[in-house]
Amino acid sequence: MNQIGNITDPHSSYSSYLTGDENHTLIKVTVNTANTGENVNQMDNREDSFENMELESVSMQGTGTSDFGAWLPQLADSGDTAVPAKKAKMSTFSFHLSDVLDQIDRDSAAVSETLRGYTDTQLRKVTEFYRQRIEEVIEGRVEGVSLTILSEVKSNDRCYKEIQQLARDGRQREASKLLLDTVMETGAQAARAMWEGFVKMMPNYPKLRKILQEIENKGANLPMEVRQSQMESRVSNYLKEIQVQHKKFLHEKSENLLINVIGGKKFKIPLKDQYTEQIIIVSDPDQNVSRLDLTVRGKRREEGQRKMIKTHREPVGIGQLFRSSFGKSSLSGTTVVSGAAGIGKTTMIQKIVCDWVDGKIYPQFQFVFLFRFRDLNNIKGKTSIKKLILDSYPHFGNEIEHLWEDPQGLLFILDSLEEFKEKIDFTNSKRNSLPEHQCFHPDCECEVSDIVRCLIQQKVLKGCSVLVTTRPTELESLREAEINLWAEIVGFLKEQRKEYFQKYFGDQSLAEAAFTYVEQNDILYSMCDNPSYCRIICYSLAPGLRQMQGTWEILPATVTQIFATYISNIFKNHEFNIYKHHDLSPEQIRDLVIKAGKMAHMGICDNIIHFNEKQLNNFGLERSHTLPGFLIEYLNTDMSQPIFSFIHITLQEFVAALAKYLTVDPQNLTQLLDSAAERGDRSRTFLRFMVGLSSSVSARILGDILGPLPYQTICRVTDWVKEQTENNLSNTRNNLNTQSEGSSSSKLLESLYYLFELQNTELMRNTVGSGGILALGHDSPDSAIRLTPTDCSVLAAVISHWDEILELNLNNCCLGTEGIQRLAPVLHKCKQLRLRGNNLTEEGVKLLSAALRRQDCKIQTLDLCSNGLSHTDAQQLAMGLTSNSSLTQLYLSKNKLGDAGVKYLCEALNSCHCKIQTLELCENLIRGNIIDQLSSVLRNNQSLTNLNLNNNKLGHMGFQLLTNTLRQQNCPIQTLELEGNGISDTFTEELTRIPFINTSLTMVNLSNNLLTDHSICALQNMIQWHTYLREIRLQRNKFSPDGSKHLQSLNNHRPGLCIEMYTRAISEESQNNSMVIE
């Protein structure tokens, strides 16, 4: 097996992948998808609040061939089956593992043979051609890949270590680049060794396997294709001057973005200042990412997109759509780029044209021609390619004939196919073969649809390149068009969102404030993957972030206010208003909102998120009402009819609530709210919006477009919220730590959302009030509810209105670092703060430490058990404890503090400010090395009365701590727990010699140790002479039956003394094979 230093190459064989290596435990079997009869209109029965959804994967329709399943035969049943490799029952499949291995061997051999057929120079050119894709493919696993490749090329350890360090620093792309640089600089043999290494890794890396399959398919022709694809096309002398004019013409057309604003005015923004590059991936019509589940929100949605891109899809730049390794051909052909409405297809086209003019991309093209389908709709009758070009680009004049001499130098861009009124049929071969429907030459006159079809299919100007952009609705019509490359615009991930905000606001501080605001709300954050929605949201937030007319506007404080602002901007802003030519009156807007809202509410009640055109008509809505930012249109899964959905499921819920709010009879309102509450998760968001519409801010925002909201409805909703909150608070306190608490905690959380959305400060204070108890957590992880970051923001907003809170119980609520960040501003107000089982991490502990350092900190009890805290976390916590005088009880059990962490705590406990009385450190990997520091604390700290060190690894040093305590007269310690520390008889004799001058210690726990009858005399001496001792626990030690009876008899030595011992059987290793006392 290949090695670098002492590190073993994990990829030298692919057998581990099939037999269940820990890094590759699943074989994904791709199977044919059949119609299961499920209603495409149905929403999943899942928890569907603003953020309270269980983590779910982002799914894509259809199945790909880039998974391991591509190596397996297609099965007859439906669905994608992930089979654990170690447990797979081969009898359930129609093939044997040996067949799969044989196929892998055959494919690997074919690729290796192709690579060996290239000369060193050809292989180097091929490597350079695929380099960017290779770097991206290996980026995520560069540490393991570098070990494999550098083993093959016999590189030294220095390079490997440098790559590993880059990867550990989070600079994986730099690491993969360094790996390729090293190979290329080493020489031809190293490059061959690298490719052979890639062949061995084929089964483990789907995207790498795709590259190798492309190379094997193109075979000996690939080097020639690579060379030709990189050749710049020479412009004939007849066209050189015209090319200059053409570029100047396009530059003037593409250098600026035109932004529509209120009132129909437009202003120009330089494209280079505003353009933010979208994520574009290589795709296919069956796996369109825009069909992602609408109920997956926020960062979970983004995580799903990132995972999909990382494991199955390759990102492609706007300069790689042609003449690159991504297409079937690297020379010519048609590329289709799809994307949802507003995702930025047209802006991408403008950027491509601008960059070509500036010489940044595609030097292989002499001329680029842009046509928009909306303009092609205006052409009546027949026309020709020649006429189309001259009508749009008249500067060609009589020299246009020279264009046809070199078709490979031409790029035609056809933007927004979904806007084309004519149907382009690529499947009707009988019709398309008729002379009148064929475009043989640029001078041939025929229908525009036939010209487009012939260009796309290379029937005319063979060798030219064509770029088509479209919404996913039109992909079905292009299936038979022999497309060279399918691509899809995914939109923005976090990095692009931040860049967009920066460019929109210009001011760094404003951009950061806006982005932070959006990032904290999963709904807004998920909507910002679309540039158009991103712009609407930025537009909505801008007034609150900028000083306008001498006043400082307030940002939307709740989700209801955000959506109210969003809806208001759709109708008030000319850029987003479907009625471009006239403004709507409040009555007309109200009528449209009510119609759309009634349909939305029907969908909520019946679990429908997709609506057909008949349903739109039933509610008096026209197809023209599918305006950007409101409804979107796309084709059904069978591509037979259009279907409609709201751009986000939460917008559907908001419009439904708004319509009900405007139309419900106030006398029936309580019944409506109670009924919705009984439906639970299905109506959760709807109810929050109903409450939020009763806030004065929401009413003011919507009043500008709808007129006044009904006052009586506002009052009745407020009364309902008060009653719900009081009931849920009472139920939660009564059910504390019972099995039913999870349900009552969820209801209490909903009441907090109602208070937050209502923004009624007086109601918040009167309903819960200072000194209240908020118990959302549970001691059992299975019974606790999971709080999302948004839940924490809501909780913090409500608590912020109180001076203090008696108890905040968030045990096992899965807060994580982000949850603590949201709660940080109010943690100091909680007298009892219970945060066990929340995976706080170092950053979370820093925030807690800061809360403890506040002069107004009221925390008296802090429970941080089971958080995986390390010694560095203890150091941060100690910084807060050193200056804190309010904390009296600190629970840190079941962490990983170790001796180093306890040392930091001891330093804090020795502070004169520290008033901790109870300290629990169970199960913290503490060893005996820390005994001196603990003894110092017990000697100097006058407040610590209870110390729990159960289940650590003190060994015999634990007894030393006990004897040190008994020797100290002024030591205030009352209870000392040393259970499960491996304490043996070694030093127990010390108890027969030391003076018992301690007057505080009343309880000692020595259970579950290794004490035998040899320690009975010493224990008896302590029991008899330390007269203040009231309780000693000795369960689960190794005393003989007689010894146990003797110790138990000492219970009668004095009144109030309790010696706890219970009987159980132990092994034959116990003396005399007897029964011992537990």
Residue 540: is its pLDDT beyond 90? Answer: no
Structure tokens given for 883:
């200056």
Q: Which of 203-212, 582-591, 832-841 has the highest mean pLDDT?
A: 832-841
Residue 79: is its pLDDT beyond 90? Answer: no
Q: 24, exposed or middle or buried, with CB in 10 Å at 0-12, 13-18, 19+?
A: middle
Cβ atoms of residues 586 and 706 within 8 Å: yes
Residue 288: is its pLDDT beyond 70? Answer: no
Distance of CA 964 to the CA centre of its chain: 53
Closest C-alpha among 305, 321, 331, 396 to residue 353: 321
Query: What's residue 888's pLDDT?
Result: 97
Query: What's residue 731's pLDDT?
Result: 81
Choice among 417-421, 445-449, 553-557 with the minimum mean pLDDT = 553-557
Query: What's residue 771's pLDDT?
Result: 58
Residue 1077: is its pLDDT beyond 60? Answer: no
Q: 381, exposed or middle or buried, with CB in 10 Å at 0-12, 13-18, 19+?
A: exposed
Query: What's residue 681's pLDDT?
Result: 67
Band of pLDDT at residue 305, cut at 50, 70 and 90: low
Within 8 A by CB and 6+ apart from 70, the residues are: 30, 64, 206, 209
Please report, as a single letter, which amino acid is at residue 305. Answer: Q
Please provide the average confidence, as pLDDT, over all residues in the chain: 80
Structure tokens given for 920:
């629990």
Per-residue model confidence as pLDDT tens digits over 957-974: 888 888 888 788 888 889
Share of the chain above pLDDT 90, in %: 38
Band of pLDDT at residue 387, cut at 50, 70 and 90: very high
Over residues 24-39, the mean pLDDT reads: 33
Cβ atoms of residues 625 and 592 within 8 Å: yes
Band of pLDDT at residue 310, cut at 50, 70 and 90: low
- Distance separating alpha carbons of residues 695 and 716, to the nearest angstrom: 12
Question: 10 Å Cβ neighbour count for 786?
Answer: 17
Residue 215: which H helix or E strand, with range? helix 206-218
Closest C-alpha among 1066, 1022, 1072, 1069 to residue 1047: 1022
Within 8 A by CB and 6+ apart from 845, the residues are: 864, 869, 873, 876, 877
Cβ atoms of residues 154 and 256 within 8 Å: no
Band of pLDDT at residue 422, cut at 50, 70 and 90: confident
Within 8 A by CB and 6+ apart from 427, the residues are: 480
Structure tokens given for 872:
């560095």
Question: 10 Å Cβ neighbour count for 423?
Answer: 8
Closest C-alpha among 366, 369, 412 to residue 390: 369
Per-residue model confidence as pLDDT tens digits over 198-253: 888 888 788 888 899 889 999 999 999 998 888 877 888 889 999 999 999 999 99
DSSP secondary structure letter of residue 81: E
Cβ atoms of residues 181 and 160 within 8 Å: no
Over residues 330-355, the mean pLDDT reads: 90
Band of pLDDT at residue 885, cut at 50, 70 and 90: very high
Q: Which residues pair with 832 in a beta bridge?
A: 807, 861
DSSP secondary structure letter of residue 283: -
Structure tokens given for 552:
């400082």
Residue 46: is its pLDDT beyond 80? Answer: no
Query: What's residue 441's pLDDT?
Result: 92
Query: What's residue 857's pLDDT?
Result: 96
User: Taken in order 562, 567, 571, 575, is the CA torsion positive or negative?
Assistant: positive
Structure tokens given for 503:
């460019």
Question: What separation in angstroms does the CA of 223 have from each of 117, 198, 214, 237, 812?
Answer: 11, 19, 13, 30, 60
Please report, as a single letter, which amino acid is at residue 542. Answer: A
Structure tokens given for 655:
């419009």
Query: What's residue 704's pLDDT?
Result: 83
Band of pLDDT at residue 981, cut at 50, 70 and 90: very high
Query: What's residue 650's pLDDT?
Result: 78
Torsion of CA 108, 113, 116, 117, to 10 degrees: -140
Choice among 284-288, 637-641, 748-752, 796-800 with the minimum mean pLDDT = 637-641
Residue in this structure with the two tokens 């190798």, named with its chain if needed: 212
DSSP secondary structure letter of residue 927: B
Residue 544: is its pLDDT beyond 60? Answer: yes
Query: What's residue 52's pLDDT?
Result: 32
Query: What's residue 155's pLDDT?
Result: 64
The total number of residues written for the chain in this structure: 1078
Query: Could you tell me which residue, 637 or 793, shows the higher pLDDT?
Result: 793
Q: How many CA atoms lie within 13 A of 360 on its CB side?
A: 11
Within 8 A by CB and 6+ apart from 317, the residues are: 277, 280
Band of pLDDT at residue 154, cut at 50, 70 and 90: low
Query: What's residue 488's pLDDT?
Result: 92
Residue 721: is its pLDDT beyond 90? Answer: yes
- Distance separating alpha carbons of residues 508 and 39, to the nearest angstrom: 47
Structure tokens given for 526:
């998920």
Residue in this structure with the two tokens 């670098």, named with its chain if needed: 4
Query: What's residue 635's pLDDT?
Result: 60
DSSP 353-389: HHHHHTTSS-TT-SEEEEEEHHHHTT--S-B-HHHHH
Residue 680: is its pLDDT beyond 80? Answer: no
Distance of CA 165 to the CA centre of its chain: 26
Residue 222: which H helix or E strand, with range? helix 222-229
Residue 940: is its pLDDT beyond 50? Answer: yes
Query: What's residue 286's pLDDT?
Result: 61
- Distance separating alpha carbons of residues 383 and 369, to the nearest angstrom: 16
